[in-house]
Chain A
């Protein structure tokens, strides 16, 4: 085998912070051969981005390092800044995660691509430049390149912007492209096409690709080799098929088992290991006071608990004569109807901008509907205190997407969880016992009651958010993408927990998500939303196995990791065969 294009050898990178030495990566070695696509998988804080920055010679000044990185035989970490400048861009291209901020907002995208070319090719003529920019735009499959060349970034969608970023990265035909979570900020259908373009490009120009991602499924679709990062170490490396189907290290096994799949017969996910005394939620619950079953008293199981009838919502004022025109762009929600029965989990799936958040605010009773009616237990849900059904604020609670902004940073955990009860005017004793109860259900350590939110990780914060929602003993939970901001193993344990809580407390969920795998894991009924309309509603299994609407089909088709799941199933099949043979 020839020498690898990029070779990271025993690299250790550390930071000195307040006299403590923090190692971002520790003794990492990996090779990327010419024309090879290598995936780097890890959860947040695993050191994968530092590896990418080091490969570009862009380590922050405060960092110290040991080991070396060889690119094409010469050292990168030892190179001078001017040498690096000729390597960066020309030899190694880089695509960042967030296409919204990496482009200059005030320059036309054509000029931004041209600038990348000009840096390494002085004196190129205007016409030749234009030709090259257009051919680059064609390479990255931007439609109508002649028109787009004059567009400003804000005129383009996220997917197109990321394509522009890729065009800039490959403008000088680098030998190596480093992509750091290139599709994480994008919708699945967009992500799908972008990955296809990327795959096509590296094949056509014989580039190598270092693909950094938290998503095993995406990496599996495109990479040949994969390295699994955990806390700054490479815990497992190898050909992607082998690693996925027969992972050797326990961490890799857990990571793969934590991914919710589209398999309708999905088994319980492997969450992050709980505390050493892995007590079940039932035993925890038993340790609190015996609970009254708080299930839908006085409400028949056959009648819908929540019912939406032809709900529409628009923002601002509509022009005269357009009041009933649902196609007018001011409408965020268009003629939506569905029922949620007691005890069921109803998922709403859609991509960004489809109106699901607006719909959610209407259901939560904080935004008035423009037309139609939302009923909870038969009573109309209005948008202010005076027009809500009785006890609505106690019975209906919400869990938010972002575990950072959803907790008041200046309130202690106990106060955060107690806040709803304070608003409802409960006495201190009742508050104390209820907060303890909610903390137990949500797996928040009771010792944490006097800590501040910033002392917790994303998953722990999300549990605090869940405890806050449970503290009023609700019957109905609205969950707004509760796991989409979390690492996959944390995601799995939160999903398990939400499932347990629902079963144990007889709750009803409306669950918003963009991830069909997650929906498959938690929901019984699924509504697919697009452009403010529900295009399809049905049982989970029907939607997954026999989607009717073209958009649903498209969504399923685009879900990353088709081959990953097939592989996984094959691997599991093998595993069980081996087991039966052993028996």
Chain B
């Protein structure tokens, strides 16, 4: 029966081909996706323009210490009297770009490894996949902590550490896609037509493999935002007095009567991470309509 519901172009696509206009059409019709995009857009806007309209200096005291939220200080002030609202708004300048950069390199490294393993197979596949298994065998945050411990704390080092532990997922996803796409006849046709291995990988296989990677990477940006905050929270990421969300939460930790110190940055993390989660779900729905509409 589903046969009847499919247009020819849907029948004809390998499941993970990414068609930008179709994705956009699907995203537009989903309120959740639009909300997610709006949240991400607002945070991006804040990050880009905060210098122009920040009510206070994020690094200098703006009034009395430990004020609860009030008309002057919407999110209250911290132990040094700095405005938490201002610091939270500045915080997106660290978390968002850092998460995007981490994801970019994660996808880059993971997809190169997955592509080579999937395309060549044999011992190359074996070695690369065992390497992937070993990396994936450790809990990512714990492994990232070890890497930072070796490199030394700092916001850049924490990003490097996250890339080093995050790539196996992409590698596995891409390898699985490559394995199925490379059996298509058009890849065989390319081989018969003496396309080089590089050309087959880049031109004939790669464009058809992105759907699961895209979905996963989008959801993972949210998780990486949390991980960056987590590393800062335990003192392995940014150093004081940087207005970084994880670190701000640490400053509020244990101060149960000054609940507002952790609340502002906490809300920030929640909104941004959730937005990426929703966006990932929406991508999933857009890329695989049959699985999406449950």
Contact = CB atoms under 8 A, between A and B. Distances in A.
Contacts of A49: 3
Contacts of A53: 1
B184 interface: yes
Given A408-B204, A409-B14, A409-B17, A60 B1 contact: yes
Interface in A364-416: 364-366, 385, 393, 396-398, 400-402, 404-410
Given A409-B14, A409-B17, A58 B208 contact: no
A58 B2 CA distance: 12
B207 interface: yes
Given A410-B208, A454-B13, A423 B186 contact: no
Interface in A429-473: 452-455, 457, 465, 468, 472
Interface in B151-208: 184-186, 188-196, 199, 203-204, 207-208
A404 B12 CA distance: 6
A339 B227 CA distance: 66
A409 B5 contact: no
B11 interface: yes
A420 interface: yes
A423 B189 contact: no
A381 to B, nearest CB: 12
B11 A404 contact: yes
Nearest to B190: A419
Contact of A409 (B193, B194, B196, B208): B208
Interface residues of A, number: 40
B14 to A, nearest CB: 7
Contacts of B3: 49
A49 B184 CA distance: 28
B293 interface: no
Chain B interface bracket (under 10, 10 to 19, 20 to 34, 35 or more)? 20 to 34
A50 interface: yes
Q: Considering residues B4, B8, B14, B192, which has the most beta carbons from chain A within 10 angstroms of its beta carbon?
A: B192
Contacts of A465: 189
B209 to A, nearest CB: 11
A423 B14 contact: no
B14 A419 contact: no
B193 A420 contact: yes
B13 to A, nearest CB: 6
Interface in B5-22: 5, 8-9, 11-14, 17
A409 B13 contact: yes
Contacts of A63: 4
B193 A419 contact: yes
A457 B11 CA distance: 12
Contacts of A366: 188, 191-192
A88 to B, nearest CB: 14
B185 A405 contact: yes
Given A53-B1, A410-B207, A453-B12, A405 B192 contact: no
A365 B199 CA distance: 18
Nearest to B13: A409
B65 to A, nearest CB: 59
A234 B250 CA distance: 76
Contact of A401 (B1, B4, B185, B208): B185
A471 to B, nearest CB: 9
Interface in A58-103: 58, 60, 62-63
B208 A397 contact: no
A400 B208 contact: no
A15 B4 contact: yes
Nearest to B186: A408
A24 B1 CA distance: 12
A576 B193 CA distance: 49
Contact of A423 (B1, B9, B185, B193): B193
Nearest to A425: B194
A288 interface: no
Interface of B: 1, 3-5, 8-9, 11-14, 17, 184-186, 188-196, 199, 203-204, 207-208
Per CB-CB distance, the 10 closest pairs between chain A and chain B, nearest first, are A406-B185, A454-B9, A420-B193, A393-B194, A400-B185, A405-B184, A408-B186, A405-B185, A423-B195, A398-B192
23 contacts: A50-B4, A58-B1, A361-B188, A366-B192, A393-B193, A397-B192, A400-B188, A401-B185, A405-B14, A406-B185, A406-B189, A408-B204, A408-B208, A409-B12, A409-B13, A409-B14, A410-B17, A410-B207, A410-B208, A423-B194, A423-B199, A468-B193, A472-B193
